[in-house]
């Protein structure tokens, strides 16, 4: 049974992971990706960065559709103060996995819910900590030779083959995938955008 949506919801993202997460709980929504500059600003912290980008993404679409509830989000993987983006090739994927191997890293997602006509705006940053097992050279070869690492921040997918490397997650599991479902749905429920009746 789908969640009862009392208003139009737009996901301002092309991310298949975010779409899958929202569909998995039965939420009905439209997809209108927002295209914004994702470069870091000077002096910007990790939290400030994901928060700003989620706001930018939500507002680009919300201004075009003022009567809709718009959800924008941005996720990054951080270790030793270094942001791990999406690896462009096998060498980059291997370097990222070597950095993550046997250690803990953090995943931050900023999400923003905006409704221009109602003048409602909420933004939040969720943090999770992920610990990897020590990855052997053979395991590294296996993983970088598959398609999975190359469109994922940090070069791995917690919901795919990359799950093999994960010893533990502290905090939201879905946050590591790309959207903290519990917090997002709670916010939509507070705004009476969705109900479970």
Spell out the residues 6+ positions from residue 137 whose beta carbon is closer than 8 angstroms to its own: none
User: Would you state the pLDDT for residue 157?
Assistant: 93
Q: Where are the domains of the chain?
A: 4-195
> Catalytic residue positions?
74
Which CATH number does the domain 4-195 belong to among 3.20.20.370, 3.40.50.300, 3.90.950.10, 2.40.50.140? 3.90.950.10
User: Would you state the pLDDT for residue 6?
Assistant: 63
pLDDT string in tens for the chain (197-residue length): 567 766 789 999 999 999 999 999 999 999 999 999 888 888 899 999 999 999 999 999 999 999 999 999 999 999 998 999 889 999 999 999 999 999 999 999 999 999 999 999 999 999 999 999 999 999 999 999 999 999 888 999 999 999 999 999 999 999 999 999 999 999 999 988 888 76
Q: What is the value of pTM for the model shown?
A: 0.91
User: Would you state the pLDDT for residue 136?
Assistant: 96
Question: Kind of pairing, strands 82-84 and 9-11?
Answer: unpaired
Long-range contacts of range 79-82, CB-CB < 8 Å, 24 or more positions apart? Answer: 79/103, 79/105, 79/106
User: Would you state the pLDDT for residue 1?
Assistant: 55
């Amino acid at each position: 049974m789908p969640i009862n949506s009392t208003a139009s919801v737009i996901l301002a993202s092309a991310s298949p992971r975010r779409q899958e997460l929202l569909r998995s709980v039965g939420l009905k929504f439209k997809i209108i990706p927002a295209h914004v500059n994702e470069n870091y600003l000077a002096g910007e912290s990790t939290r400030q960065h994901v928060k700003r980008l989620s706001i930018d993404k939500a507002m680009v679409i919300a201004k075009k559709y003022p009567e809709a509830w718009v959800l924008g989000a941005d996720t990054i993987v951080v270790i030793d103060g270094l942001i791990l983006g999406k690896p462009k090739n096998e060498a980059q994927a291997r370097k990222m996995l070597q950095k993550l191997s046997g250690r803990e890293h953090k995943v931050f997602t900023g999400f923003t819910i905006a409704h221009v006509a109602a003048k409602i705006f909420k933004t939040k940053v969720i943090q999770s900590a992920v610990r990897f097992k020590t990855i052997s050279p053979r395991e590294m070869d296996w993983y970088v030779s598959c398609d999975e690492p190359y469109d994922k921040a940090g070069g791995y997918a917690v919901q795919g083959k990359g799950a093999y490397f994960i010893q533990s997650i502290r905090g939201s599991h879905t946050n590591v995938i790309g959207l903290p479902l519990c917090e997002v749905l709670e916010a939509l429920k507070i705004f009476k955008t969705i109900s479970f009746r």
